[in-house]
Amino acid sequence: MLENIQKLNKEIINDIKSLKDKESLENFRIKYLSRKGSLNDLFENFKNVDKSIKGAVGKALNELKVFTQKTYEDKQAELDKLNKQDSSDEDYTLPGRKFNLGSKHLITQALEDISSIFQRIGFKVVDGREIEDEYHNFDALNTPDYHPSRDMQDTFYLKSEGMNKRYLLRTHTSPAQVHIMKSQKPPVRVIIPGKCYRNEAISARSLSMFHQVEGLYVDKNVTFRELKGTLDFFVKEFFGKDLKTRLRPSFFPFTEPSAEMDVECYLCNSKGCRICKYTGWLEILGCGMVDPNVFKHVGYDSEEYSGFAFGMGIERTLMIRHSVPDIRMFYENDIRFLKQF
Ligand code: DAH
């Protein structure tokens, strides 16, 4: 009997080496530990063992059973652990997760579009300042003390007590012209996109913050004809169509002569519609030849140099271009609106 136990012990130890998966483990259990297994067979025979060696045989048999049972359980735990790792959350066959990519706001897109059109014809894009002083926003731009735009009703003045200047939020991008001309000699050919602020009652057509793009070109012999040619080129590129333009005489303190530029209403092909108020034309910007008084402020000789400037409102232009009925929609950040652009 003791010999049989030893034989079985050897066999078991040999079989342990091949315990690699669930199936071999189950076969191991059936072969040695089940009711009909080899260990049970030996236990059955135990009753026939001679009394004198019963103690030793019983002990050996028990030890072998405990060893086999423990080996089985340990191996089972080991395989379970391995299986768990395999079936962790990572299923590499699943389709990838979708990330919602952000996109540029349509105002940013428009500012970039406009800037790049002018860059192609030699304009440099520069930044202005949103906080200006009265001198740059008004005086240097030939805007007199009594001009209505200087009124508290129209301009956001900042608390400037104890300072030697009165500060404000710029009401247009034009003061950047003054900074640039003061900092360099002609030729100057720049585009200045940015935010402007006016103390407006908020409505479908106006907000207290909006965007403009300013343009300035100063050199020897710059003519009004070049102003028109440059703006015509811009219109064609920006609206993507060969639209007619027209210049109407106007007034701005910092340009002389001054004009406003209209483009053919591309919504109704100039036939007349609600958007163009049945005129067939849409106003898109103000422009003119830089006033000699502005040159005086920045130290340019107006006998030697001439220049043109223009400024356009971005929100209004986009409202027309995309039929946006309310200017507030640009800033409500409603994803259903923004996604369309
Ligand atoms: N600054 C003007 C405004 O806010 C727009 C403008 C008109 C800019 C004529 C210019 C210009 O540079 O030449 O209404």
pLDDT in tens, 278-326: 999 999 999 999 999 999 999 999 999 999 999 999 998 999 888 898 9
* Test site for ligand 1: of 173, 287, 312, most ligand atoms within 8 A of the Cβ: 287
Cα distances (Å, whole numbers) of residue 7 to 4, 38, 75, 86: 5, 11, 22, 37
What share of residues in the chain are helix, strand, coil (percent, to 5)?
45, 20, 40
* Protein fold of 107-130+170-338: BirA Bifunctional Protein; domain 2 (3.30.930)
CA of 12 to the centre of ligand 1 (A): 97
**Cα 317–chain centre separation:** 23
Helix (H) or strand (E) holding 125: strand 124-125
CB atoms within 10 A of CB 194: 19
CA of 175 to the centre of ligand 1 (A): 10
CA of 42 to the centre of ligand 1 (A): 107
**pTM beyond cutoff 0.85:** no
Question: Which pLDDT does position 100 carry in this prediction?
Answer: 83
Q: Is the CB of 252 under 6 A from ligand 1?
A: yes
CA of 322 to the centre of ligand 1 (A): 23
Burial bucket for residue 123 (CB in 10 Å: 0-12, 13-18, 19+): buried
Can you list the positions of beta strands (E) in 159-299? 167-169, 188-197, 209-219, 245-252, 255-264, 281-290
Cα distances (Å, whole numbers) of residue 326 to 128, 206, 339: 27, 9, 17
The mean pLDDT value for 114-138 works out to 97
Ordered by start, the domain boundaries in the chain are: 2-86, 107-130+170-338
Question: Which pLDDT does position 42 carry in this prediction?
Answer: 85
Question: Which pLDDT does position 4 carry in this prediction?
Answer: 87
**Cα 215–chain centre separation:** 27
Q: Which atom of ligand 1 is nearest to the CA of 311?
A: 8
First to last CA, the chain: 89
Greatest alpha-carbon pair distance for the chain in Å reads: 134
Q: Is the CB of 214 under 6 A from ligand 1?
A: yes
Q: Is the CB of 213 under 6 A from ligand 1?
A: no
Q: Which of 4-13, 48-57, 76-85, 143-152 has the lowest mean pLDDT?
A: 76-85
